[in-house]
Amino acid sequence: MSENFDVKLDNKSHLPEYSYIDNTWMGRYEPAYRRFLDDPERFWSEIAHELDWIKPWDKVLEWNHPYAKWFTGAKLNITCNCLDRHVLGDRRNKVALIWRAENDLEERVMTYRQLHTQVMRFANALKNLGVKKGDKVCLYMPFVPEHVVAILGCARIGAVHTIVYGGFGADALNSRIRDSKAKIVITADVSYRRGKAIMLKSIVDEAITNAPSVEKVIVLRRSNLNVELIQEKEVDFYEIMEQAENYCEPEEMDSEDPLFILYTSGTTGTPKGVVHTCGGYMVGTYYTTKYVFDMRDTDVHWCTADPGWITGHSYIVYGPLATGATVLISETVPDYPDPGIWWKIIEDIGVTIFYTAPTSIRMFMKYGEEWAKKYNLDSLRVLGSVGEPLNPEAFEWYYRNIGKSKCPIIDTWWQTETGMHMIATLVGEKMKPGFAGKPIPGIIADVVDKDGNPVEPGIGGILVIKTPWPSMMRTIHNNDERYRQYWSGAGGYYTAGDLAVKDEEGYIMIIGRADDVIIVAGHNIGTAEVESALVAQEPVAEAAVIGKPDVLKGQSIKAFVTLRVGYEPGEQLKNDLIYNVRMSLGPIAMPSEIEFVDTLPKTRSGKIMRRVLKAKEMGLDPGDISTLDE
Ligand code: WT7
C-alpha cells in the first residue's frame, strides 16, 4: 500500500505559552528520546528502579520474536506500588479517590490508607471464597469506588481480573465469562445511567446460565431495591468484607505472571482476550502517567473513561495510583443532568489533568461553549485525548474553550494491546492539530508499506511498532496464533491495524483502521460480534456491518441484512432486529441503520467484502474488486 491518501498536512501549530516540564533527567522530548536510543534497556531499567520490587530482575528484556519477557526473574506486587508505597511513605492520608455519583449529589472520598485497608479486606474476602493466584475473576460493575477496590483486591492475591464494561449485554458478558473461565463474577444490583437504574444483577443472572465455570457471584447492593441473593451461589459484597481480616500479605508475583485479561473486539470470531502481565505493565503505565501527563504530587487527575476499557485500567487505576496521584472517578455521562456537569465537577474538585475522548468533545461542541463558560476551569493545566483522531475543529474547541489557550492538548494514540501510550504530543512540545504526535521515548513507531519499508512523509501506510515495549500484550487468551498475527505482517513489526501518515517532522496522523473494526464513540466494536447477533435472529440469513462517518460518534453502525425466505422487509422487523442486538450486546453495539438487501458482496472464497458495501454507501470507488464473486 503506497497510494497517496492525499492528506493535507496542516501547518498550523500551537505552542503553549509555558511548558510545565521540570528538570528531571527526562527533560524535553529530544534528549529523552536520544537517551532511550543510546541504550534502551538502561532507559527502561532506570524507570523501573523508581518502583518497589520484592526481588529485582536478572534481565531487562528477553526478546524472542514475537515473544517478549520483561524484567525476567523479578518479583513484585503491583498493589504495593499503588498503595503500600504511599501508605508507608508520606502519602498515608493523601486523598487517593474522590467519587462523584451520577446524580452529582453524593460524593465519597478515600485516602490511600483507607483504600489500602479496603483492598486488603476485599482480597481476604476473595481468599475466603477459595480464590487463588491465577484464578480468573470477572468484574461487571458500575463505576463506584468498590470497583477500584475489587480490581486491586484481585491483583493483591494474584487473581487475574477480566473486566467487562457495564454497558455490554448478557450475551457479550456470557462469551467473555466462558472464554476466560471466570470462577467468580463481581457485580452490583444496579448501575445508573442518565437517571435510570440498569439492573446489572439480572443481566448477570442471564449471562451465567450456561457458564459452568462460575462458582460464586459477589453482589454489591447499593440501592434500596433489596435484591435477593441465592444462598448457595451469591454473596453480599460488604458481608464478606466484614468477615475478612484487615491485613493481606501481597502475593509474590513473577514479573511475567498475568495481571489481567481484557477483551477487545476483533473482525473475526469471538472477542480477543488480551493478556497483560505484572512487571512490564506496571512500568509502562507508571512511566507514561508520569511522563506523558507530567503528573505531579499536587495533581488531581480525571480520566473520564470506565474501568471496563483499557484507558480505565491504565489511566484511572494502575498508572495514576502508582504515581500517588489524587484520582477523581465519576459515574457521570457528559450531558446529564445537563451538559455543564463535567465543568462543574472540574471547578468543584479543582481537577488539574483532564483526559477524555474526541466523541465527548464533539458532543460539547454541539451544545455550545456557554456551558463551559459558566464554570471556573483555571485549575486545569493538562488536557488529554484518546480513542480516535482528534479532528482539528475539536482540537481548536477543546484548546480554546476548556484549556483557555494555555493548556497543552496531549493527544495519545495507543491500544488495548499496547497497554500504554505509544504516540503522543508531550507537554511542552509543539502541537499539530490532527496529528497524534511522535512516538514517545521508549517507542519506535513508523509508517511502512506491506513489506515493512518506510514510506515517504505525506504518503499513507501501515502504522507499526518496531521493537518490544514493557506493557505490550503477551498473548491472546486461548489463541496464541492470533497473537502471532500481530507480529507477522509488514516485515515482522507489530502491526497496529491502523493506517497513518507521517510528516517531515515525524509527527504521525492516524487515518483510520485497516481492518473491519468500527469505532463508535471511542469504543472498539467488532463487526463479527454485531453480525453474529443479527444472524442469531430467526429472520436473518446473512448480515454485514460497516462503520459510517458520524459527526458526533466518529462512526455509527450500518447493517446490511439478507432475509430468510418467508420473511418480508419492513419497519417493524428493522426495529426488532435493532432491539435484539441491543439486548444481546448492549446499546454501544446497536446499529443505527439497517438496510435489507438481496445479496451481499463476497469474495470467491466466501468472505463478505465490507469495503465494497462501504464504498457504495459513501459513493466512492470500491477499489480492487477482482476477487468479487459474480
Ligand atoms: C484503536 C484502539 C487506547 C484506548 C482507547 C481505545 C484508535 C486510539 C487514538 C488517537 C487516533 C486512536 C486506533 C486504535 N485510537 N487512540 N489518539 N488517535 N486513533 O483502545 O479499543 O484498543 O482501540 O483506537 O484506531 O487502533 P482500543
Residues with CB under 6 A from ligand 1: 264, 310-311, 386-389, 411-416, 436, 496-498, 510, 513, 519, 524
Rounded to the nearest angstrom, the distance between the alpha carbon of 287 and the centre of ligand 1 is 19
Instruction: Cite the beta strand spans of 278-381 per DSSP E.
Output: 300-303, 326-330, 353-356
SS (H, E, C) 16-46: CCCCCCCCCCCCCHHHHHHHHHHCHHHHHHH
Tell which atom from ligand 1 comes closest to the C-alpha of 311. 4
421's CB contacts (< 8 A; 6+ apart) are 288, 292, 412, 413, 414, 440
Name the closest-CA residue to atom 12, ligand 1.
388
Q: Are strands 234-236 and 216-220 parallel, antiparallel or unpaired?
A: parallel
Rounded distance, CA 443 to CA 403, Å? Answer: 28
Tell which atom from ligand 1 comes closest to the C-alpha of 390. 18
Rounded to the nearest angstrom, the distance between the alpha carbon of 6 and the centre of ligand 1 is 22
C-alpha cell at 483: 497473537
Q: Whose CA is closest to 36, among 476, 544, 469, 573?
A: 469
**Which of 31-35, 469-473, 624-628 has the highest mean predicted lDDT (pLDDT)?**
469-473
CA 519 vs CA 299, 389, 515, 548: distances in Å: 31, 11, 11, 10
Name the H helices within 461-513.
480-486
User: Which carries the bigger pLDDT value, residue 529 or residue 38?
Assistant: 38
Residue 209 has pLDDT above 60, yes or no: yes
User: Which carries the bigger pLDDT value, residue 382 or residue 511?
Assistant: 382
C-alpha cell at 554: 466518529
Long-range pairs of 613-616 with CB within 8 A, sequence gap ≥ 24: 613/544, 613/546, 613/560, 614/546, 614/547, 614/548
Tell me: the pLDDT tens digits for 145-204?
999 999 999 999 999 999 999 988 999 999 999 999 999 999 999 999 988 999 999 999
Name the closest-CA residue to atom 3, ligand 1.
415
User: What is the percent of the chain where pLDDT is above 90?
Assistant: 69
Residue 369 has pLDDT above 60, yes or no: yes
Question: 521, 363 in Cβ contact below 8 A?
Answer: no
Rounded distance, CA 150 to CA 193, Å? Answer: 21
Q: Whose CA is closest to 276, among 374, 414, 380?
A: 414
C-alpha cell at 292: 506523558
Tell me: the pLDDT tens digits for 1-27?
333 333 333 434 443 333 333 434 345
Rounded to the nearest angstrom, the distance between the alpha carbon of 357 and the centre of ligand 1 is 10
pLDDT value at residue 37:
95
Tell which atom from ligand 1 comes closest to the C-alpha of 414. 3
Name the closest-CA residue to atom 14, ligand 1.
415
Tell me the torsion sign for CA atoms 108, 110, 114, 118.
positive
The backbone torsions φ and ψ at residue 53, rounded to the nearest 5 degrees and listed phi first, read -125, 145
Rounded to the nearest angstrom, the distance between the alpha carbon of 416 and the centre of ligand 1 is 8
Rounded distance, CA 621 to CA 216, Å? Answer: 54
Rounded distance, CA 516 to CA 497, Å? Answer: 9
The arrangement of strands across the sheet holding 216-220 comes to 234-236, 216-220, 184-188, 136-140, 160-163, 258-264, 272-277, 475-476
Rounded to the nearest angstrom, the distance between the alpha carbon of 241 and the centre of ligand 1 is 37
**Which of 263-277, 471-485, 509-523 has the highest mean predicted lDDT (pLDDT)?**
471-485
Q: Whose CA is closest to 189, among 179, 178, 198, 177?
A: 198
Average pLDDT, integer, range 509-532: 79
pLDDT value at residue 105:
84
Calculate ∠ Cα 501-504-507, nearest 5°.
Answer: 55
Tell me: the pLDDT tens digits for 83-113?
999 999 999 999 999 999 988 889 999 999 9
Note the CATH number of domain 521-618: 3.30.300.30
Pocket test for ligand 1, best of 510, 523, 588 (most atoms within 8 A of CB): 510
Beta bridge partners of 602: 608
Name the closest-CA residue to atom 27, ligand 1.
415
Q: Are strands 216-220 and 184-188 parallel, antiparallel or unpaired?
A: parallel
Rounded to the nearest angstrom, the distance between the alpha carbon of 423 and the centre of ligand 1 is 11
- The DSSP H or E segment spanning 290 is helix 278-291
State the average pLDDT for the chain: 90
Average pLDDT, integer, range 431-446: 94
pTM of the model: 0.86
Pocket test for ligand 1, best of 293, 519, 520, 588 (most atoms within 8 A of CB): 519
